[in-house]
Amino acid sequence: MLIKTSILWYVAVTALGMMMIVSTVWVYQSYLSQRNELDLTVRTSSWIIFQTALEFNTLDAAISACIQNKICDGEKVLLRAEIFASRLDVLANSSETDMLTFIGPYRAALNETYRNLSAAFRLYPSEMAELKGGEISAAVANEIGGFRVTLQQILRDATIYNSDIEQRATLLSTTDPAIPFAGLWASAVALILSLVVQVKRSRRVLSEVQSLRRDDYDRQRSTINLLDTLRSPIIVVLADGTIAYCNSAAEKAFGVSQGQQEPFPLLPDLVTASAPGGSGVISIETLTKGRRSFQCSGNTFAWSGASATLYALNDNSLERDAQLAAIETGRLIVLGELSSSIAHELNQPLSTIKMASLNARMLLAKGAADAANQKLNRIDDQVDRAARIISNIRKLALPNKAEGIFNVRKSIDTCISLVGQQFAVANMRIHTDFFCATEPLVAGNSTLFEVAVTNLLLNARDAFVGRSLTGGDGVVRISVECGERLVIVVRDNAGGIEPAILPSLFESFATTKLGVGMGLGLSISRRSIEDMGGSLVAANESEGAVFTIEVPVAA
């Protein structure tokens, strides 16, 4: 279609150019023809006027001769008068004198004289025969008497007119029109050539565009063919939410179809998961395999000229299950590390309860009810204390897969309470600083976050104890800053991490605690934080190690 249009355009431009050239030549020839005709007309009209004047003078001379000499030929006068009348008719009504504008005002007088002379001729021969030459001359002279003045005026105007025409003709004859016409013609040719060149260029560009479109179409077809063979669900969504394309895996898994325009229920979750800072993981109830976990990514691109987003979903349920199992393992490891601390924490109130109950029995045996009551109150307090400890432990001990929004401040308090006894024994302290105008809320699994932070605290404790850094100087500082992302920095003064281990610190089985840990804690902690869409990095400072957690703030 575009090629046909281009050819038609090319033909039209060429025809237009040819028409311009032909027209130019035509105009030039017309100019020359009209100039010649003008010249001829002027000459002709001048000739007619001259002939009229000549006949008038001849007639006037014939009449004068008749009147003065008394000898005249009346027939001759009539002949001259007839010739003169014919000149008047030509002068007044012929096509040669139509263009002589100055004749117009005299046309009525010319015609009247002509009519009068013609009337005089009609007397002949019957009446004329009765008249003498002098009488005929007098009659004719009477008819043309006023014409002399008119003729003089016509001759004067003709002289002026002819002079003007002569000047124009001279000017035209001295100006050669060939040069401007040649310039015009050359311009036309140049215009045609430029148009032809432009048309050729346009055709070439058009051809390239068409080639690119064909390539684009081929690529799109190839892409679709490739996507159709993939087992991972692929969905292309236009800006208005219409599904421009979905492969068979997506159709089977989610029941979507190409061209579907009704609201796509998964779309908001896809947009959130694949957005920068999103978790990239989405859990979807599929039609074929139940609830599955998908690694989701979204890329915006042009689809058939329209802006669209391609969502690729990779079923990572097995990997996800393995990750969750690893995180669960990490949770159990941390729980194991805390077990001695937990036992100690619980044994303290139990010991007090046991002794207070024995004291109470002895006091009751003595009848000291008030004193015994005090012991029972103490038992009550210790039972409450044990319940609080168990409550904190349960948060960590029971698998909690539910995700939601939680308060980081409360989670950190829980972590501190869990390791509090171990830190006290190690003669270490924990300082917390919160630089947040509002409560620091994040989205994710609070248990896994607490496992990660607790693991960092236990590592700091182990580093401090492992280097025999006793003497009351062990300090862990936890600072929380709220911004676009929540930044939690855990900084200790235990001397730092071995530089050789630092690059692989978060790899599984990397440990600085030979014979103590398995080296899974930090690896699992990082996975837990990354699962929240965050990051966990480590560095050394002058006094010790710094672990920085960054997580998105909950909307």
| CB atoms near residue 499 (< 10 Å) | 8
For 410, the token pair is: 């409360």
User: Rule CB under 8 A: which residues touch another protein?
Assistant: 340-341, 343-348, 350-356, 358-359, 362, 375, 378, 381-382, 421, 424-425, 427, 472
Identify which of residues 340 and 535 has a Cβ nearer to another protein in the complex: 340
The C-alpha atoms of residue 63 and residue 141 are separated, in whole angstroms, by 7
Rounding to the nearest 10 degrees, give the CA dihedral for residues 284, 290, 294, 296. -40
Pairing outcome for strands 281-286 and 290-303: antiparallel
The DSSP element (H or E) to which 111 belongs, if any, is: helix 107-121
Closer of 300 and 340 to another protein (Cβ): 340
* CB-based burial label for 13 (10 Å; 0-12, 13-18, 19+): middle
**Closer CB to another protein, 362 or 537, in the complex:** 362
In the complex, the smallest distance separating the C-beta of residue 425 from another protein, rounded to whole angstroms, is 4
Helix (H) or strand (E) holding 244: strand 243-246
For residue 125, is the peptide bond before it cis, meaning its omega torsion is within 30 degrees of 0? yes
Shortest reach from residue 495's CB to another protein, in Å: 21
Cα 132 from Cα 430, distance rounded (Å): 161
Q: How far is the CB of 421 from another protein (least distance, A)?
A: 7
In the 3-class helix/strand/coil scheme, how is 124-152 assigned residue by residue? Answer: CCCCHHHCCHHHHHHHHHHHHCCHHHHHH
- Whether 338 and 396 have beta carbons less than 8 Å apart is answered as yes
**Closest CB to another protein among 58 and 351?**
351
User: Smallest distance, Å, CB 478 to another protein?
Assistant: 19
CB of 352 to another protein, least distance (A): 5
Name residues whose C-beta falls within 8 Å of residue 308's C-beta, 6 or more positions apart in sequence. Answer: 236, 237, 238, 239, 244, 300, 301, 302
Task: Round to whole Å and give the CA distance between 380 and 483.
Answer: 44
Supply the minimum distance, in Å, between the C-beta of residue 350 and another protein: 4
Q: Which residue, 247 or 382, is less far from another protein as judged by CB?
A: 382
Q: From the CB of 372, what's the least distance to another protein, in Å?
A: 11
Min. distance of Cβ 355 from another protein in angstroms? 4
Which has the closest alpha carbon to 216: 120, 276, 305, 277?
A: 305
Which of residues 273 and 353 has its CB atom nearest to another protein in the complex?
Answer: 353
User: Of 474 and 533, which has the nearer Cβ to another protein?
Assistant: 474
DSSP state of 470: -
CB 449, CB 330: distance < 8 Å: no
Q: Which is nearer to another protein, 153 or 427 (CB)?
A: 427
| Measured distance CA(90)–CA(187) in Å, rounded | 47
Residue 302 or residue 343: which is nearer to another protein going by CB? 343
In the bound complex, what is the minimum distance in angstroms from residue 513's beta carbon to another protein? Answer: 16
